[in-house]
Amino acid sequence: MPTNTRKSSAGLRFKSGNLLLIKLGTAAWEGLGNIISGKLGLKTEEVSVKYADNSTASGEGASSCNITIELAQVNKDVIDRVLEICGSEVKLYYNNGSNGVSTQEIFADKVIFKKDIDWEMKASTHQKINLTGLINPADNGLCVCVPDTDLPDDAKASGLTAVDSNNPYFVILETTD
């Protein structure tokens, strides 16, 4: 992390727009479409405790993670597939891009998209679809990814060593180009 508050040119800057891949059960990875924009929202609830002397304290409570994705290149096959997977738990992989030094990839093991679809159709823009969902926490409380077994064959990250995260929802893998 930079030590000063001035703008740093050393930070990694990634350009998105790649294909979003999902995997349902043991099926093969499949593309849903290219991401125009996306957002992962990791939130922790605040929990208050009231003591016998009426003093209070606050701390971290339960956490949750949601996902919002805007896909381009909408067609009947994409809409049909999205409607089929809504409510089912899928794995998610996304190559978030490269900055010439590193490639950043995102893996989530337990994503459930809701039937909360926003399909925009305008004459002045290409059609796009917005998907929302949630990411369930890993069973052991820490999301883990073994690149050679969990990621698609053309993923940049590789190896049989497990990569974990500081959260139970997703793993960010950064590989030197």
Q: Where does the pLDDT of residue 11 fall: very low under 50, low under 70, confident under 90, or very high at 90 and above?
A: low
**Distance between CA 6 and CA 1 in Å, rounded?**
12
pLDDT over 70 (residue 10): no
**pTM given for the model:** 0.82
pLDDT for the residue numbered 2 = 45
Q: Are 124 and 136 in contact (CB under 8 A)?
A: no
In whole angstroms, how far apart are CA 140 and each of 18, 54, 136, 137?
30, 36, 12, 8
pLDDT over 80 (residue 126): no
Name the pairing type of β-strands 144-145 and 163-164: antiparallel
As given in the structure block, the two tokens for residue 32 are 């849903």
Q: Which residue has the higher pLDDT, 13 or 78?
A: 78
Q: Are 165 and 171 in contact (CB under 8 A)?
A: yes
Domain residue limits, the chain: 19-176
Q: Which residue has the higher pLDDT, 127 or 169?
A: 169
pLDDT for the residue numbered 100 = 78
**Distance between CA 162 and CA 177 in Å, rounded?**
20
Q: Where does the pLDDT of residue 3 fall: very low under 50, low under 70, confident under 90, or very high at 90 and above?
A: very low
**CATH fold of 19-176:** Pnp Oxidase; Chain A (2.30.110)
**Distance between CA 145 and CA 135 in Å, rounded?**
15
| 70-121 pLDDT per residue, tens | 888 778 888 888 889 999 999 999 998 887 788 899 999 999 999 877 777 7
pLDDT over 70 (residue 1): no
Going by C-alpha positions, the residue among 34, 14, 30 that lies closest to residue 22 is 30
pLDDT for the residue numbered 34 = 86
| 33-72 pLDDT per residue, tens | 888 888 999 998 999 988 999 999 998 888 999 999 988 8
